[in-house]
Structure 1
Amino acid sequence: MSGTTTSSGTPISALPLASSVAATDTIVGVVSSGGTVQAEQVPVSVLASGIAQAIGLDDAVTAAQTAAEQAATENQAAGQAAANAVSAKIGKAGGAAALDNSGHLALTDGTALVSVASVEPATATTPAILVPDIPISEKTLVGSTGKSFSDLIDREDQLPSGTYFVDQSGAVLRADTVGTLPTDVTLNGGVYMAGTSALPAGLSADPATGMILTDGSTYYPNTINNVGVLCAAAE
Structure 2
Amino acid sequence: MTDPLTDKLRAFVQQENIQPDPNFATYANGNYCVLDCVFSPRANWEFTVKPMVERFAAYGWEKDIRTFSDFVADVDSFGEGKFERYAAEVLINLGVLSGRRKAEVAYDVAKFLIQNDIEYVADFHRLSTYEVEELVGFRLVESVRGMGSVLASYLILLFGREDYIKVDTLLNRLMGHIGDWKFRYGNPQDILAIRKAIITVAEEMKITPSRLDNALWKYESIGRKPLPWIKEEKEA
Q: Please tell me the TM-score bracket, short chain as reference.
A: under 0.3
| Higher RCO (CA < 8 A, seq sep 6+) | 2
Relative to its length, the structure with more helix (as a share) is: 2
Higher strand share: 1
TM-score (norm 2): 0.16
Q: Which has the larger radius of gyration?
A: 1
Task: Report the TM-score when normalising by structure 1.
Answer: 0.16
